[in-house]
Amino acid sequence: MLGVPQLLIVDEPTAGLDPGERNRFYNLLAEVGENIIVILSTHIVQDVKELCTHMAIIDRGKLLASGSPADAEAALAGKVWSRTMSKQELQQRDWSYPILSTKLVAGLPLVRVYSEVEPVGSWRLVEPDLEDVFFAKLSELR
């Protein structure tokens, strides 16, 4: 920050910060970003949502998407479905919907899929988030 730069590039700036320090750093970067260009390189999608008015998803040097985080999420509205299931059911995978992500919640897989129509079964429509955008773009669903 010395020398009044016109451009600031930060790489994974909040990795390892506790929630309080992360919020303070968000405030600092947002304030700095009012006067200069800040480029944020991160895998932490919450950082992007909190700080960025414009984002890009780049994979292996290829630009997969760019635009506002809100617009990227809105493009998936009505197309992200979720449900909890047993590990065995997940392994059997008897549906044809592309999986966006899975994570264990209370010991059970919580699965998010992409589908333009309501999937068969007990899936529930959920609000898309930037992780869904990221995984959809990486798997070229959109």
pLDDT tens-digit map of 58-117: 988 999 999 999 999 999 999 999 999 999 999 988 778 899 999 999 999 999 999 999
Is pLDDT of 136 > 80? yes
Question: Are residues 80 and 134 both part of a single domain?
Answer: yes
Question: Are residues 128 and 78 both part of a single domain?
Answer: yes
Residues 6+ apart with CB under 8 A from 24: none
Q: Helix, strand, or coil here: 102?
A: strand
Question: Are residues 82 and 116 both part of a single domain?
Answer: yes
- Its pTM stands at 0.83
Is residue 38 domain-resident?
Answer: yes
114 — phi, psi (to 5°)? -105, 130
Count of domains for the chain: 2
Domain of residue 25 covers: 7-52
Question: Are residues 133 and 80 both part of a single domain?
Answer: yes
Residues 6+ apart with CB under 8 A from 26: 14, 47, 50, 51
Largest Cα separation within the chain, whole Å, is: 59
Question: Are residues 81 and 47 both part of a single domain?
Answer: no
